[in-house]
């Protein structure tokens, strides 16, 4: 494989897609703050956009659908988010 073919192959694997993220679970200020930080911390999230729906965001994601779904499941309560955290405990 030539260097050019390798670079081309690498560029194709870096394609990004836009997925819809359900945010209906983020009703409290703490949950929205948590979501904000998780979106900032995820290396695969390249951009976040508002949608016409109040309970969804459009996420520019550098992984495939399976990776996005796995990551999104960790966000909602029960998937990794520990509700009940408040700033007073920091």
Q: What is the pLDDT of residues 34-85, one digit of tens each?
A: 999 999 999 999 999 999 999 999 999 999 999 999 999 999 877 654 544 4
- pLDDT at position 80, please? 56
Give the chain's domains with CATH numbers. Answer: 15-80 (3.30.70)
Return all residues near 41 (Cβ < 8 A) that are at least 6 apart. none
Name the 3-class secondary structure at 56.
Answer: strand
């Amino acid at each position: 494989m030539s260097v050019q073919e390798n670079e081309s192959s690498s560029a194709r694997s870096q394609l990004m897609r836009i997925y819809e993220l359900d945010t209906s679970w983020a009703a409290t200020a703490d949950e929205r703050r948590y979501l904000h930080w998780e979106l900032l911390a995820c290396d695969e999230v390249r951009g976040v956009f508002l949608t016409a729906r109040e309970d969804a965001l459009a996420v520019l994601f550098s992984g495939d659908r399976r990776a996005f779904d796995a990551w999104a499941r960790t966000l909602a309560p029960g998937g990794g988010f520990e509700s009940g955290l408040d700033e007073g405990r920091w």
